[in-house]
Structure 1
Amino acid sequence: MIRGIRPLLSGSTYSGMLFAFCGAVASLPLLPLAMLPALAWPAAPYGAKMIMTLLVWAVLIGAVGMGRTVRRALIAFARRLLRVPLPDPVAARRSASSPGTDRWRTSLWLLLHVALGWTGALGSGVLVLAGLTLPLGADAGVSLFGRSVRVTGGWSWVVALGCVVLAAAVCAVVTNVLRGSAPRLLGPSSAERLALAAERELLLAERNRLAHELHDSIGHTLTATTIQAAVAGEVLSADPVAARAALRSIEESARAALEDLDYVLGVLREEEAGMAPARTLADLPELLDRLRHAGAVVEPELSGEPAQVQGTLSRAAYRILQEGLTNALRHGAGGPIEVRLAAAPDVLELSVVNRTGAGTGAGRGAFPTSGHGLTGLAERVRLLHGEFEAGPDGPRHWRLTVRLPVRSSA
């Protein structure tokens, strides 16, 4: 019983009915235009004039629903008054098989909206008027379409209350029909759902890329600064110049990491993140210098024309070398780190080779990691249609080798 009358007591029912009333009132300016064909045909029967007026009225209302701004406005009002979670319409390419489908659905919705608005307004209006009139006395009554209803005695108040309840029920029915139809007629079409899915896919891909950027940048910085701080502590008394150089390198590494962090957070906040561009191969000499300040011996071998590598490929190559060098610092056993970069017209080859085994440097146990570094590198290379290899190179060395096609990634 309580569940049955709950919609009659809900505020959303009457806000939805207000939405329906607004549709009925908004259609009134089109009524004089709809009457023009009937007025131009004075000899037609009255019934034919009424049917003609209603048909022209419906056509005009449907034509109004063809506008894109009308659909946006209807979606906004339906969200507000019907409490229906409708997404904003998105730009989607029309297919040749179903052009203008969204506009036709909007026209159908507008016709339904106006029809239910007038039905609810007339039905609830008559019932409320009856509920107010019947209790006035024995001579009071309601006449509609040639029929009269009169109630005398104490039953008039009961019937009046019933009329008010029925008026509320009409409001509830109209609101529920509109609320149930809104997702079908105002909700996203198949093309819009595909566009929304594509947008979500691009967003997830961008966030995945940013996660790789943070992992590579922050992970490298923390590894390098930890080693540089240890070097500075060891030589602070014996070699103050080297200690100051290590501290200065820590400052530069931290500043670069903060710039990368500001850039990524700016993108996540959907703001213009212009504080720091993405790192490219042009920043590779600075990366190697920071490693040397950390006490590492780096032996680079650059061939070809790395400066001609641009865009996504240059950014990915920098991050791949950064991750490989970071792993060499974390898990290597000291000794020189060989870095090779060969830029050919059709392929870009990268490799990092370092010694393994127990050593005095940063051993595997000194830097616990999540183990996602090589997995992230393999995924990055796969997205660029490249080749990835990582593993032992003889009994005492570890090799990371990557081959990236230039043309397919440009």
Structure 2
Amino acid sequence: MVRLLRPLVRGRTYTRLLHLWVPVAALSVWWWVEPELPWVPLLVLVAVGLIPAVRVGEVMQARLLLTPDEAEPDFATLPAIAWRDRWRTVLWLEVRTLLGGVAAYLTVWLPIVAYTLAARTVGHETEDLPALSGQPQWFYGLLAPLPLLVLYAAVVGLGEVLTAAARRLLGPSAAERLTALEVRTEQLLERTRIARELHDSIGHALTVAVVQAGAARAANSPEFTDRALTAIEETGRAALEDLERVLGVLREAERPVSARPTLTDADRLLESARASGAKVDAEVTGPLESLPGPVSREGYRILQEALTNVLRHAGPVPALVRIGVADGALTLEVRNALPDAGAAPGRGSGLRGIRERAALLGGRARTGPDGAGDWQVRVELPLG
């Protein structure tokens, strides 16, 4: 019994009833003026429902009145662009109007029936329901609550039916769900890319700063300390620029991404590594300035992470960097001596990021000992 009466204390029962009444209240003016043409408003609703923005207004009403206690009801969030979605909006308007008409009729006449039954019990004459006129009947009093129970069931039932229809007709279509999923996937990929950017840039800057600071303390030379501080300052400034660019993108979703470093800026990385104590021998072949933007930018980050791994895990050891553009591909190779015969540099998110960057561009990456006592990072990226 408690479960059956629970809708009486729920606000959505009454907001749904209000939602049913709204179209009838608007159309009753026409029905009052032209009672002989009651079907004209239904034709007008067809034209109205084909307007794309109408669905947005209907969804807003459905959220507020049909599902007020749901945080994120499954309704469409965009205007109905496709014709299939427009016709779904038309069908929704027709269903809402017809159900509203039924609800309005029942909420007017069922209380009248209940009152008439109660009045006839005590012999009071009314002009409503002339079939009940005549001598008072005691059993009319037993029937009087029945119309109110029917009204209660009708209000709750029609509200549930209307809400189900709204979820079906105002919900996103399969194409819209796919579009939303693609947007969500792009957002996740963008967040992953930003995290990788921060890892590479800030990780490189901190590695250089730590190595330089340790080397300056060990050298105990004012001249070397000055060079170390200069390298830390330049690397830190570049990292701050990267951080500000990434944070700007996060703060303003529509803000265009500012220029990211490319392989034409590789000298900055090489000088930073050399200033940190690594003996870097670089060999560049091919026109780096002709590389496609995505390939050049990702190549820069791959080189940055490879050099960071050299400084972090091997220290100031000789390193060979080869950058070549030939045969429709970019080849990046960084080789360095391992710190001892059995050790291998770390295998954390840095190397995984290198492989992910290469895979996203249709390339491949190999990382690990090369069998000759060196650690090798070799990446091949197609230019197409």
Task: Quote how far apart the aligned CAs of 1:265 are.
Answer: 3.4
Task: Quote how far apart the aligned CAs of 1:186 are.
Answer: 0.5
Number of residue equivalences: 377
Change (3 A) 1:270 1:2: farther
Paired AA for residue 11 in structure 1 = G
Paired AA for residue 270 in structure 2 = L
8 Å Cα contact 2:249-2:256 kept in structure 1: no
Paired AA for residue 143 in structure 1 = D
Task: Quote how far apart the aligned CAs of 1:391 are.
Answer: 2.1
Change (3 A) 1:21 1:352: same
Change (3 A) 1:321 1:92: farther
Change (3 A) 1:151 1:338: farther
Task: Quote how far apart the aligned CAs of 1:157 are.
Answer: 8.3
Task: Quote how far apart the aligned CAs of 1:351 are.
Answer: 0.7
The partner residue of 2:110 within 104, 123, 127 is 127
**Deviation readout 1:25-81 (Å, 9 max, x if unpaired):** 334466589x5xxxxxxxxxxxxx95xx34443222222111111111101111111
Q: Secondary structure at the match of 2:339?
A: coil
Structure 1 equivalent of residue 206 of structure 2: 222
Structure 1 equivalent of residue 186 of structure 2: 202
Structure 1 equivalent of residue 235 of structure 2: 253
Structure 1 equivalent of residue 313 of structure 2: 331
Structure 2 equivalent of residue 390 of structure 1: 367
Larger mean Cα displacement after TM superposition, 81-90 or 202-211: 81-90
**Deviation readout 1:173-208 (Å, 9 max, x if unpaired):** 221111111111000111111211221222222222
Task: Quote how far apart the aligned CAs of 1:156 are.
Answer: 8.3
8 Å Cα contact 1:124-1:168 kept in structure 2: no
For 1:232 and 1:239, locate their aligned partners in 2 and report how far apart those are by CA, in whole Å: 7
The partner residue of 1:307 within 265, 269, 289 is 289
Q: Secondary structure at the match of 1:284?
A: helix
Structure 1 equivalent of residue 377 of structure 2: 400
Structure 2 equivalent of residue 73 of structure 1: 57
Change (3 A) 1:398 1:132: same
Task: Quote how far apart the aligned CAs of 1:340 are.
Answer: 1.1
For 1:121 and 1:60, locate their aligned partners in 2 and report how far apart those are by CA, in whole Å: 20
The partner residue of 1:86 within 58, 65, 74 is 74
Larger mean Cα displacement after TM superposition, 61-70 or 106-115: 61-70
Paired AA for residue 86 in structure 1 = D
8 Å Cα contact 1:27-1:61 kept in structure 2: no
Alignment of 1:339-350 (within 5 A): 339-344=321-326, 346-350=328-332
Q: Secondary structure at the match of 2:181?
A: helix
Structure 1 equivalent of residue 48 of structure 2: 64
Q: Secondary structure at the match of 1:143?
A: coil
Task: Quote how far apart the aligned CAs of 1:289 are.
Answer: 2.1
Task: Quote how far apart the aligned CAs of 1:249 are.
Answer: 2.5
- Could you say what the CA RMSD is over the residues aligned between the two structures, in angstroms? 3.2
Structure 1 equivalent of residue 124 of structure 2: 139
8 Å Cα contact 1:259-1:275 kept in structure 2: no
The partner residue of 2:356 within 360, 379, 404 is 379
8 Å Cα contact 2:53-2:80 kept in structure 1: no
Paired AA for residue 393 in structure 1 = D
TM-score w.r.t. the length of structure 2 is 0.86
Paired AA for residue 321 in structure 1 = L
Task: Quote how far apart the aligned CAs of 1:275 are.
Answer: 8.7
Task: Quote how far apart the aligned CAs of 1:293 are.
Answer: 2.3
Task: Quote how far apart the aligned CAs of 1:269 are.
Answer: 4.0
The partner residue of 1:352 within 301, 321, 334 is 334
8 Å Cα contact 1:93-1:191 kept in structure 2: no
8 Å Cα contact 1:328-1:354 kept in structure 2: yes
8 Å Cα contact 2:59-2:170 kept in structure 1: yes
Structure 1 equivalent of residue 176 of structure 2: 192
Task: Quote how far apart the aligned CAs of 1:353 are.
Answer: 0.7
8 Å Cα contact 2:52-2:80 kept in structure 1: no
For 1:180 and 1:81, locate their aligned partners in 2 and report how far apart those are by CA, in whole Å: 13
Matched, 1:24 2:33: no
8 Å Cα contact 2:75-2:170 kept in structure 1: no
Q: Secondary structure at the match of 1:343?
A: strand
For 1:9 and 1:150, locate their aligned partners in 2 and report how far apart those are by CA, in whole Å: 39
Change (3 A) 1:164 1:268: farther
Q: Secondary structure at the match of 1:68?
A: coil
Structure 2 equivalent of residue 282 of structure 1: 264
For 1:222 and 1:158, locate their aligned partners in 2 and report how far apart those are by CA, in whole Å: 86
8 Å Cα contact 1:16-1:82 kept in structure 2: yes
Paired AA for residue 48 in structure 2 = V
Unaligned runs of 5+ residues in structure 1 are 36-48, 95-99
8 Å Cα contact 1:134-1:140 kept in structure 2: no
Change (3 A) 1:276 1:244: farther
**Deviation readout 1:304-334 (Å, 9 max, x if unpaired):** 1112224211111011111111111122253
Larger mean Cα displacement after TM superposition, 314-323 or 170-179: 170-179
For 1:375 and 1:258, locate their aligned partners in 2 and report how far apart those are by CA, in whole Å: 24
